[in-house]
Structure formats: structure tokens, C-alpha cells
Amino acid sequence: MSQQTIQEKLGYPKNTKLLILHGDDIGVSHSQNMASLTALGKGFISSGSIMVPCPWFPEVAAYAIAHPEADLGLHLTLTSEWKYYKWGPVAKDKAISLSNNKGFLYDDLDSLGKMAKLKEVELELRAQIDRAIQFGIRPTHFDSHMAGCFFNKEYLKIYIQLAREYHVPCLLNREAFKVLFNINIDDLIVSTDVLVDKVFMAYPNDYKQGMANYYTKVISSLQPGLNCILLHAAYNDDEMQAVTIGHPDYGAAWRQADFDFFSSEACKKLLADQNIHLITWKEIKEKLVK
Amino acid sequence: MSQQTIQEKLGYPKNTKLLILHGDDIGVSHSQNMASLTALGKGFISSGSIMVPCPWFPEVAAYAIAHPEADLGLHLTLTSEWKYYKWGPVAKDKAISLSNNKGFLYDDLDSLGKMAKLKEVELELRAQIDRAIQFGIRPTHFDSHMAGCFFNKEYLKIYIQLAREYHVPCLLNREAFKVLFNINIDDLIVSTDVLVDKVFMAYPNDYKQGMANYYTKVISSLQPGLNCILLHAAYNDDEMQAVTIGHPDYGAAWRQADFDFFSSEACKKLLADQNIHLITWKEIKEKLVK
């Protein structure tokens, strides 16, 4: 039994190429909401995750209530990276070690790691989950904005523990955690935890060479297993340009390029040609995480 | 000496028509910031005020630092009236009686008046002023969003006291306070407080009949004294439409109409033809409130 592939555990043939097409950062802005929820509603992407501390969170909560079938998880957030548009911890002063002297979450992981008390990290993550539930969201999975929850092994333990406690799968990948964070997750997981075999996300160099090139290459060479592409869909409009001002990477044009590729006929054809089966976190939750 | 008109106190001839053209709600959204700060920068309006608890507050704070000459006060905010885009008190849990069970300021003044503890109203207003100063803003005046600070005489006392304490003028008008709030401000003011003789603001009926009609009428019949027109300049774009969704009044098109009128050649000509002198709160502060 232990030799079953993840595809088989999910009821698919052994060598199926499963893919979660995942829109990050929903809730950060109206522009991100409109593009990501359009992509989700039209089936251009399969899944997305929500940033609870952000200003446009109530808009996506209303969408989630109106669309209970939508695969929406929580993009657990410990940072606030933009210049003029920022947010603080949901737990407010109870998570004061997570915020700078202006009450905003830190811009980057290094400051977070230096300043945050572990107890308050847990308290803040719980506050975000409970707030999502209070607003009527039934999260299908957890992942983490800017990999905040993967900062070190202690953060990761909390993240995995919360996923178990709330009965949802969370984004876990052996290779990425080893390469990017030098964390061996084998020490932390048990046999019932779900692992993603491969995670892909465009980096600045990929963007420079054209998103269509990058994603075409990723999708064309996708292997059997449970795969996940993380993308950031928003419109290249005034609001998104202002949110991302001064940041060369992951800006408004980048997010529009993500939307454009995944809403294209070329993408649709490529997925079909490669016999790729889109899957949701919701399906994974329902089949494997009771 | 007590027979001097306000114009004379300010160093103008006795019968000058002084006018503050005032943009409210700066900071509420990027759209409001861009339209209002464009109008301010180009001299279409003379003054504006900032909502400290709102998501786009840091953007206007950066503008204020870069433009120390700009006449920017604080639009002291005790309500959060939109549907999917909301904000809570700056004082967070220390002003918990001002917020609903989701941590947002109440939608309307009635709920505020029923629920808020007076001590926490004062604490929240102080927190907003101190936060503005922390961000580098030097407020030239105070006024109040949705007239929250004018809800009753106790609120008004705090508002006037804070203006004196921070050495700024605040928007006070004998007639409006009597008619709209049934408050006789003569009990609250002293001879050094500055009163505006007439305050004008478009109401839904005025909008329906066309903003150009309304403002042309107001400006054409302006009397000598210190006058103030309160307006709300934003662009009728995706963001502002989403902020104001479900609200027929003071919506995105309304705000665009305000911007359009005050940026028009017709408005400029009308102000000149009527010998109207635009004045700032900053000038009033410097001359009359030391």
C-alpha cells in the first residue's frame, strides 16, 4: 500500500500528471481580486489563496460565500512588502513583535525572523485563520505569502500543526524546502501529510525572458505526480501599479503577464496536449485529509 | 476691535469673498489620492484633509513630506462606510468600543453614537493625530469624516479641545451645526476660535441636477466672508467603483464629477469673475492660530 503514488491515492492512474494552477495574493488589492477571481471563475486556474490582513480581504470573503465551490485557501501572511500600501497583524497588539514602529508587518523575512516572538507568530496565524472563518470562508488549504511560514523549522512546525488542526492540506515540498530554506521536512511530516512533488514559480529572470516562454517550458516538461504552479494574477492598472511602485519584481505588468498567459488559448491547448489534469486543493482535502 | 470681520483679521479688505476649496477623504483610496493631490498640486482646490485609518494613508503621508507647502489637514474619522473595503480604529483594541465585531469602525453615526465610549473617542482621535505626525504630516487643520466629530456636543468638545491643543484651526460653522446637529456652538467657542461663515457641500439632489449647475450656483452667489466648499475628488475608475459599490451617493462618478468641475476652465473663470479669493487653512492657522 505504501507504494501507491499520490495520483493513485487520489484515485487517478499511477502516471497521471496532476497540476494545481494556483493564484497567490488574493485580497491584496481590488485589481488582484478581479483578475484572480476571474481566472478562477473561468477555470483558467484551479485554486487560489487569500491574504487575510489585507485591505481588500472583505471583497474576496464575499466572493467565497457566494461561490462555495471555489477552491480558496489562506495565503498565511507575516510580511507587508510594498512601499505605500501596507497592513498590520490581524492579532493587532497581541502580535506586536511582528510589526514595525508604524504597526505594519515587516517588509522582509529577515526583520521578521529577528524581531518576532514565536508565540506571537502562532497567535497571528491562528488569528488569520479564525478571521477567515468568521468572515464565512471555509479554507481548502494553507500556504504562505513570501514563504513567511517556511522561514525556519520552528515556523514550519506551527504551520504544519495548524493545517492538521484545521483539517486542511498545506503546501509542502521536499525539494524546495531543502534548497531554499535548508529544511529537511522528513523530520516534521507523517504519512498522512500530503506532499507536492514539484513546485514552480517564475523568478525575475523568467519574467525577463517572457512569461509565455517560461510557463510553456514548465508545462511542456511536467512530469507525472502532483505538481503546483504558483502565479500572481492581477491587472496592470493604476491601483496595482501604485501598490507595487518601486518594486521591479512581481509588479503590475508581471501580474498582468501571468493573467494573460493562463487565460490564453495557447495555455489551454498546451495543458490538453500534455494530458495534464488540473486538480484542486479541495479535492485533495476531501479525498486525503478528513 | 471686535467689530473686525474675519477678512480683516486675515489682512484682507472687509468685504472680500474668501473661499476654501476643500477636498475631503484623501487617503481613502489610491484613486482619491491621485485625483485630490493632482487638484491640490495644480491649484484647482486650495486644501484637503487626510483619513489616517485608511489603507492608502502612507501614500498621502509621503506626498505631504515631499510637498510641505501643501495645505493638508486631518479628516478625523470615526466611521467606515463602504461595503467591501473597510478600516478599523488606529488605537486598535484600546478603542474597541468604536468597532464592530469584525474590528472595523461602524458604518454609520447612529451605531457609533450607541456603542462608543466617550473616553475611547478621544483616545482614537488623539491616536489619529499622533499617527499623522509620526508619519511626517504637519496638519494645517482638522475636520471630520461624515461629521463623526459633530455627532453630539460631547464629541464636539473633544474635537475643539484637540484643535486648540495641537494649535490648528478646525472646521466650525454656526449654521450647519445648528441645523444638522442641533448644536449651539456659541457655548463651546471662545473669541480666538475661527468660524467659517458658510459651508457648502453637494447633496444627492444637487448631484442629480448636475454638479456644474450646483457649484456654479454656489460660487455665483457667494457672499463676502470666510466660505468653504467641501468636495470629494477621485477618478471614476475600477478601484473607486469597487470602493463605493452598492452606495448610490458619493460614488465614483460623483467624485469624478467633482474633479471635473473644479479642474475646468469654467470654474477658474467663474472664481475670477466673482472676485473670489482662494485661501488655505494653512494661512488661517499662521495668521490667527499661533
- Full pLDDT tens readout for chain A, 290 residues: 458 999 999 999 999 999 999 999 999 999 999 999 999 999 999 999 999 999 999 999 999 999 999 999 999 999 999 999 999 999 999 999 999 999 999 999 999 999 999 999 999 999 999 999 999 999 999 999 999 999 999 999 999 999 999 999 999 999 999 998 899 999 999 999 999 999 999 999 999 999 999 999 999 999 999 999 999 999 999 999 999 999 989 999 999 999 999 999 999 999 999 999 999 999 999 999 97
- In whole angstroms, give the CA distance from residue B174 to residue A20: 63
Count chain A–chain B contacts defined by CB atoms under 8 A. Answer: 63
Instruction: Enumerate long-range contacts of A152-156, CB under 8 Å, 24 or more apart.
Output: A152/A113, A152/A181, A152/A183, A153/A183, A153/A187, A153/A188, A154/A118, A155/A118, A155/A121, A156/A181, A156/A183, A156/A185, A156/A188
Residue B42 buriedness (CB in 10 A; 0-12 / 13-18 / 19+): exposed
The predicted structure's pLDDT at residue A3:
81
CA-based nearest residue in chain A for residue B54: A55
Grid coordinates given for B200? 457648502
Q: What pLDDT score does B279 carry?
A: 98
Does residue A51 come out as left (phi exceeding 0), alpha (psi in the -120 to 50 range) or beta? beta
For residue A147, what is the DSSP state? G
Phi, psi of B73 (to 5 degrees): -110, -165
pTM above threshold 0.95: yes
Alpha-carbon gap: A131 to the closest alpha carbon of chain B (Å): 8
Q: What pLDDT score does A248 carry?
A: 83
Distance CA B67, CA B61 (A): 10
Q: State the average pLDDT over residues B37-50.
A: 98
- The DSSP code for A166 is T
Nearest by CB to A55, which of B55, B235, B237?
B55
The grid cell for B29 is: 483610496
ipTM: 0.95
3-state secondary structure of B23: strand
Q: How far does the CA of residue B36 sit from the closest CA of chain A (Å)?
A: 15
pLDDT at B2: 56
Judged by CB atoms closer than 8 Å, whether chains meet at B87 and A55 is answered as yes
Question: Cβ of B84 and A62 within 8 Å?
Answer: yes
pLDDT for A1: 47
How far is Cα B254 from Cα B232, in angstroms, rounded to an integer? Answer: 8
Over range B165-178, report the average pLDDT. 96
How many degrees, rounded to 5, is the angle at CA A61 between CA A55 and CA A63? 120
Interface with chain B: mutation pick from A80, A98, A239, highest number of B CBs within 10 Å = A239
The C-alpha cell that represents A1 in the structure block? 500500500
SS3 A177: helix
| Exposure string over B215-250, b if 16+ CB within 10 A, otherwise e | beebbeebebbbbbbbbbbbbbbbbbbbbbeeeeeb
Q: Is the pLDDT of residue B224 over 60?
A: yes
* Residues of chain B found within 8 Å of residue A93, distances taken between Cβ atoms: 92-93
Give yes or no for residue B189 having a pLDDT over 70.
Answer: yes
**pLDDT band for position B1 (50/70/90)?**
very low
**What whole-number distance in Å separates Cα of residue A257 and Cα of residue A241?**
14
Backbone angles phi, psi at B134, to 5 degrees: -55, -35
Contacts of A239 in chain B (CB under 8 A): 30-31, 237-239
* CB contact at 8 A, A50 and A72: yes
Say which amino acid occupies A102: K
DSSP H or E stretch at residue A255: helix A252-262
- At A124 the pLDDT is 98
Q: Which long-range contacts (CB under 8 A, 24 or more apart) does A179-186 make?
A: A180/A147, A180/A150, A181/A147, A181/A150, A181/A151, A181/A152, A181/A156, A183/A150, A183/A152, A183/A153, A183/A156, A185/A156
Give the whole-angstrom CA distance, residue A142 versus residue A180: 19
Question: And the C-alpha cell for A103?
Answer: 504597526
CB distance A30–B93 less than 8 Å?
no
Q: Which chain B residue has the Cα nearest residue A235?
A: B238
Distances (CA, A) of A78 to A1, A48, A110, A180, B186: 39, 18, 11, 18, 51
Q: Which long-range contacts (CB under 8 A, 24 or more apart) does A147-152 make?
A: A147/A109, A147/A180, A147/A181, A148/A76, A148/A77, A148/A78, A148/A79, A148/A109, A148/A112, A149/A76, A149/A78, A149/A125, A150/A177, A150/A180, A150/A181, A150/A183, A151/A78, A151/A109, A151/A112, A151/A113, A151/A181, A152/A113, A152/A181, A152/A183
Q: What is the mean pLDDT of residues B44-68?
A: 98
Whole-number percent of chain B with pLDDT over 70: 99
